Amino acid sequence: MTFAMLLAGCGGGSGGVGSTPTPPSAEIPTPIATPAPTPPATPTPAPTPSATNYDTAEYRATVGAVSMNALTAYSRGATGAGVSIGIIDSGIDLQSEEFSGRLSSASADVAGNTGFDDEDGHGTAVAFTAAGRRNGAGTHGVAFEATVVALRADRPGTCATAVEGDDSTGCKFGSDAIARGVDAARAAGAKVINMSLGGTNMPTSLQNAIARATAAGIVIVISAGNDGTENPDAFTEVANNAAIARGQIIVAGSIGSGDAISSFSDRAGTGAAHYLTAVGERVRAPDETGSVFLWSGTSFAAPQIAGAVALLAQAFPNLSGAQIVQILYASARDAGASGVDPVYGNGVLDLSRAFQPLGTSNVAGSTAAVSMAVNATLSAPMGDARQGGLGAVILDGYDRAFAIDLAQTIDRAAPPRALLGALQFRGRQVAAAIGGTSVSMTLAPRIGGSVAVEPTRLTGRDAGMARAIAGTVTQALGSTLSFGFGIAQGAGTLTAQLTGRREPAFLVATTPGFGIDGTARASSAIRREFGRFGLTAAVESGRMTTRGRDGAPGTDPYLRGGFGRAALSLDRRWGPLALHLTGSGLDERDTLLGARFGTGLGATRATSWFADLDARVEAGDGWTLGGSLRRGWSGARVRHGIDGTGLVRTAAFAADLGKDGVFGADSIGLRIAQPLRVTTGGIDFRLPTLWDYATTSVATWTTQRLNLAPDGREIDVEARYARPFGPGTVQTNVFWRRDPGNIAALPADYGLAVRYGFGF
């Protein structure tokens, strides 16, 4: 049996049909606006710049394209070219130039008319809304370079009976003809079929045709209806049948300005899971005579969505029909109640989000997950290292290829806070020495009353007198052998204790030492004397800490990665001169010189080798002169299927002059230092730069460098003064830092610290 279907959504009236066996007739409502001014016979196209500018007056007048942010798609080269849109309607104006060269030869009449030339205007207006040409005049369709498969399905003679104001007259569509149209569109290779139709429950013959289309991967868009009811037309119920729809049927509701649901539009209701809204009010489009009108109805929301499907299908040829629908739903602007709701369903069509990566993204050709925000946080030794582009192709959760500049996702560490770390300690130091054993612990109260082990910050005088450092135990084994271990203390500090090395108490201009923002958890060392020489072996474990400039709210802004360090130090004293030569290896499990790289940049880790030379002269009369020099070489190891190699060279130095007893029992000193800084080097990544959808593989790999040498060079100058006062000691430090954190753009940093400490 053949049922009749009515065009839905042409105006403000009902788009449904009664349940009687005899098909009623209805008028196609008159468009709601007078014809727009007739353009010149030969319109002058807008000037075309060398790089196509799609943000034109024509685009801005196309209300549907603007609402869905189609400019995002156009700027990526998506215009619908090569994609066919099936329009099952009242035919198309064969005299129109709007579809010149883009009207498929498969276009046909499927209902027994004399041809598929439009008699009514509705089919032409719907086709224009989906795919009208872009020519610099008036408006254009969403997918303005798509191919139209026009399939005329109105019963012969019915369109000619339309009487204004009489809904029983007008175009009627038999379900058998619509089914033939669906099959014809499928045979023609259409990627999407638009059905701006409505009526009673869909008969089995048409459901079977739709099932064949969805099995072929075709997306079908059906208008919701214009009754303003809580549920879409019964004709759309097929979208809820998973066996037929296969997740590829979209029910189109209408919105107007400000994303407000149109008063005439049927709401999402029972079809909410498959319902999507687009502009269906005052859509400018020509009729069968070429006269331009403003049309309203869900009939004109549907082709907006069909055009969007065509844009996605062209831009991402790997997508199945079901995936395109999922993307449109997932990227829709939320409207009404949060989430999928009974008015707006999935929300409002939005291509700005649909053309952005969705789900987990990986660097193409690898297993490396990539972030759209931050893929690396450089450390202070890398400062303001400038980057060229690091172009790469990534695949999102739908295996869509996107170009990304990874250099734009590299953050920089915040410059170290000069005095905060040195002054924030509060605790009690406990030390004891018995024979050849020295024990030092620092106890700090915690919230809740418990006690924690914390690092000790001793003055040079305290360290020289007690030779004790917090969280350490040292033991002399005879006259030439000693060992020690530390808790929350580094191997360098422990080595200094075993060798009796004394360092002046500077807060900011520190010695090169470790030179990276890391926290030791445990260390141990053993020292053996060979005459006037001493040899110390030490090991250490801990965690790197790199702080990004902009920690996300509610998250820990510090990025941590484990490290292990081993060092071998040779010391020799010649009277007042003490020399220390140290070679060390640093193995970072998740970082490179403290910089943290996400998997999008290979989760780079590193092994570094450092050579350190320290010298100090006790010049007599309280004068001391000291200096330190560090050179480092770091080899980067790139992982997660991304190829890359890197060698980074680093350097640091410090020099100081001091005098004890300037005015009695006081002490004064001056130091200039350069913290650890990358001098040359970077990482050469082999990144994918071209993706082949035909082979689903990377077509081109390009080697690109990530530079890690900064322009800025931090120089620290610090003066200190200390003298006894009452039961304790007053200590004053004044500092000046140029290019803090090796960032040239930052102003010089300076500060003053006054401390008072005493033993108890």
Is residue 389 domain-resident? Answer: no
Give the domain extent around 557: 420-757
Pair 341, 437 in one domain? no
Q: Report the pLDDT value the prediction gives residue 423, as an integer from 0 to 100.
A: 54
Which residues of the chain register pLDDT less than 70?
Answer: 1-50, 162-168, 416-472, 513-515, 546-560, 758-760
Q: Report the pLDDT value the prediction gives residue 517, as an integer from 0 to 100.
A: 73
Q: Report the pLDDT value the prediction gives residue 554, as an integer from 0 to 100.
A: 35
Pair 190, 339 in one domain? yes
Is residue 695 domain-resident? Answer: yes
Is residue 604 domain-resident? Answer: yes
How are beta strands 249-255 and 275-279 bridged, if at all? parallel
Measure the CA–CA gap between 729 and 405, rounded to whole angstroms: 55
Measure the CA–CA gap between 723 and 220, rounded to whole angstroms: 86
The domain boundary residue, chosen from 354, 376, 404: 354
Sheet holding 591-592, edge to edge: 410-412, 376-378, 595-597, 591-592
The domain boundary residue, chosen from 323, 354, 385: 354
The DSSP call for residue 740 is G
Measure the CA–CA gap between 32 and 606, rounded to whole angstroms: 69
Pair 344, 445 in one domain? no
Pair 321, 436 in one domain? no
Token output for 445: 């109260």
As for how many domains the chain has, the answer is 2
Is residue 47 domain-resident? Answer: no
Is residue 428 domain-resident? Answer: yes
Pair 459, 562 in one domain? yes
Q: Report the pLDDT value the prediction gives residue 439, as an integer from 0 to 100.
A: 62
* Marked catalytic residue, from 117, 122, 176, 361: 122
Annotated active-site residue 580? The verdict is: no
Pair 477, 611 in one domain? yes
**Cβ-based neighbour number of residue 44 at 10 Å:** 10
Provide the Cα torsion 165, 169, 173, 175; round to 10°. Answer: 110
Pair 198, 317 in one domain? yes
Pair 123, 213 in one domain? yes
In sequence order, the 6+-apart residues with CB closer than 8 A to the CB of 609 are 583, 584, 585, 586, 632, 633, 634
**CA of residue 113 relative to chain centroid, distance:** 54
Contact 39, 138 (CB under 8 A): yes
The DSSP call for residue 317 is T
Is pTM beyond 0.85 here?
Answer: no
* Marked catalytic residue, from 299, 379, 438, 440: 299
Measure the CA–CA gap between 600 and 604, rounded to whole angstroms: 10
In sequence order, the 6+-apart residues with CB closer than 8 A to the CB of 204 are none
The full DSSP string for 136-191 is SSS---TTTTPEEEEEE-BPTTSGGG-BTTBTTSS-EEEHHHHHHHHHHHHHTT-S
Measure the CA–CA gap between 287 and 126, rounded to whole angstroms: 9
The domain boundary residue, chosen from 299, 333, 354: 354
Q: Report the pLDDT value the prediction gives residue 355, as an integer from 0 to 100.
A: 96
CATH number of the domain encompassing residue 147? 3.40.50.200
CATH number of the domain encompassing residue 596? 2.40.160
Annotated active-site residue 299? The verdict is: yes
Q: Helix, strand, or coil here: 314?
A: helix
The angle subtended at Cα 425 by Cα 420 and Cα 429, nearest 5°, is 155
Give 390-423 pLDDT, tens digit per residue: 999 999 999 999 999 999 999 987 776 665 555 5
Annotated active-site residue 287? The verdict is: no
Q: Name the nearest CA neighbour of 5 among 87, 85, 90, 86.
A: 90
Pair 312, 437 in one domain? no
Token output for 65: 């394209």
Q: Report the pLDDT value the prediction gives residue 452, as an integer from 0 to 100.
A: 40
Is residue 738 domain-resident? Answer: yes
The full DSSP string for 645-696 is EEEEEEEEEEEEEEEE-SSSS-EEEEEEEEEEEEEEEEEEEEEEEEEETTTT
Is residue 31 domain-resident? Answer: yes
Q: Name the nearest CA neighbour of 636 among 687, 594, 675, 674.
A: 594
* Marked catalytic residue, from 14, 25, 84, 89: 89
Element (H, E) at 516: none
Q: Name the nearest CA neighbour of 534 among 489, 490, 493, 500.
A: 500
Contact 84, 315 (CB under 8 A): no
Pair 322, 436 in one domain? no
Element (H, E) at 242: helix 242-245
Pair 186, 335 in one domain? yes
Pair 556, 676 in one domain? yes
The angle subtended at Cα 407 by Cα 401 and Cα 413, nearest 5°, is 135
Is residue 393 domain-resident? Answer: no
How are beta strands 410-412 and 376-378 bridged, if at all? parallel
